[in-house]
């Protein structure tokens, strides 16, 4: 079997591809060649030993669906891939739109639907949570600098300025809000989300839904160390029934089909959990899940192949991850080969 995975950009803002591959290889039953689908010749996953069998450059999502399909068709002729697992938010809409055409080529995927992606989008999350009695911070959408003047009418500073795909900044005044608006909009587009800032501890849940409303598994963790980008650089598995039940409720209401990450904050004032984001793919810390007893990436692979998967019923509390970084050494000839041929 051959399996292709994206998101090998293991930098200070890493993609989920490398930990997802490590999770799959964690299973004693896993037996497949892994093909890396890369967007840049300097994605660190390319240069990690024993991670992928081969790597192919693919066009950025902004290049359009036709270019992506043509490239994947060429790769399929060379490799005969059985399953692709896209791991990045920005590429999911394209892969969902191409799902039927790729299936005709013999490529299976297990993705959310276009409607499901829209329901949980950052600019729609407030409405979804309000309709389903889930606590969520207040927010407004703005599309211009002038609209930032509305902030004091709805919130007290500080507030969180967020992009519809990535990036978030905590700002303390209008000038900081303008700076964050310009940074995010130039990179990820409009609208920009202005969200109520809540003080408290941050918690995340990695989960897998089977597309019928059933939760195959869910593992909760508390962030122990957070970078200036808001990324969890260390965390520990915990069990809180409220977190798990909210996550199951989300999967049931959306009938979520794929992996996901739910980001929460527990208010230091009320002790209540507020849902901050629903990310439509496995998170970077997904490797914590199989080490705690729930190999959700391997379960997703089985679902993509059309196999039945039994839900997990527990996991080990107290399992810790601490992220690290190290230098990968390679030769200029390797870099040149990827740059000139687009594959290695």
Listed by start position, the domains of the chain span 2-109+327-341, 138-196, 199-322
pLDDT of residue 68: 97
Question: In angstroms, rounded to a whole number, what is the distance separating the alpha carbons of residues 169 and 260?
Answer: 23
Look at strands 200-210 and 257-267 and give their pairing: antiparallel
- Contact 231/182 with Cβ under 8 angstroms? no
Topology of domain 199-322, CATH: D-amino Acid Aminotransferase; Chain A, domain 1 (3.30.470)
- Contact 186/166 with Cβ under 8 angstroms? no
pLDDT of residue 196: 93
Question: In angstroms, rounded to a whole number, what is the distance separating the alpha carbons of residues 140 and 147?
Answer: 10
This prediction's pTM:
0.93
Q: pLDDT means per 10 residues in the chain (344 residues)?
A: 95 89 97 97 94 97 95 98 96 96 98 96 92 95 91 90 87 95 91 93 97 98 86 93 97 98 95 95 97 98 97 97 91 92 92
Per CATH, the architecture of 138-196 is what? 2-Layer Sandwich (3.30)
Instruction: Please state which of the four CATH numbers 3.40.50.20, 3.40.50.2300, 3.40.720.10, 3.40.640.10 is assigned to the domain occupying 2-109+327-341.
Output: 3.40.50.20
**pLDDT 10s digits, 15-55:** 999 999 999 999 999 999 999 999 999 999 999 999 999 99
């Amino acid at each position: 079997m051959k399996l292709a995975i994206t998101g090998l950009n293991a930098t200070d803002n890493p993609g989920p591809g490398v930990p997802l591959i490590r999770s799959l290889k964690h299973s004693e039953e896993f037996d497949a060649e892994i093909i890396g689908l890369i967007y840049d010749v300097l994605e660190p996953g390319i240069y990690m030993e024993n991670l992928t069998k081969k790597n192919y450059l693919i066009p950025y999502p902004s290049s359009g669906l036709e270019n992506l399909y043509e490239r994947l068709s060429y790769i399929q002729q060379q490799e005969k891939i059985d399953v692709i697992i896209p791991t990045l938010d920005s590429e999911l809409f394209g892969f969902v739109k191409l799902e039927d055409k790729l299936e005709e080529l013999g490529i299976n995927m297990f993705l959310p639907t276009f409607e499901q992606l829209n329901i949980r989008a950052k600019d729609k999350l407030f409405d979804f949570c309000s309709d389903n009695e889930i606590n969520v911070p207040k927010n407004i959408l703005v599309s211009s600098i002038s609209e930032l003047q509305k902030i004091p009418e709805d919130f007290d500073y500080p507030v969180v300025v967020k992009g519809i795909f990535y990036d978030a900044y905590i700002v303390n005044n209008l000038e900081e809000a303008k700076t964050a608006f310009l940074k995010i909009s130039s990179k990820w587009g409009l609208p920009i989300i202005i969200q109520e800032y809540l003080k408290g501890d941050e918690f995340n849940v990695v989960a897998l839904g089977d597309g019928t409303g059933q939760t195959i598994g869910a593992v909760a963790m508390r962030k122990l160390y957070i970078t200036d980008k808001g990324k969890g650089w260390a965390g520990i598995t915990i069990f809180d029934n409220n977190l798990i039940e909210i996550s199951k409720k989300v999967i049931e209401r959306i009938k979520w089909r794929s992996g996901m990450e739910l980001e929460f904050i527990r208010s230091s004032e009320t002790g209540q959990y507020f849902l901050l984001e629903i990310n439509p793919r496995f998170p970077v810390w997904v490797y914590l899940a199989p080490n705690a007893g729930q190999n959700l990436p391997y379960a997703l692979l089985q679902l993509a192949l059309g196999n039945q998967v039994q839900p997990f019923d527990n996991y080990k509390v107290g399992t810790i991850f601490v992220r690290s970084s190290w230098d990968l050494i390679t030769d200029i000839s390797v870099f040149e080969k990827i740059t000139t041929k687009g594959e290695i």
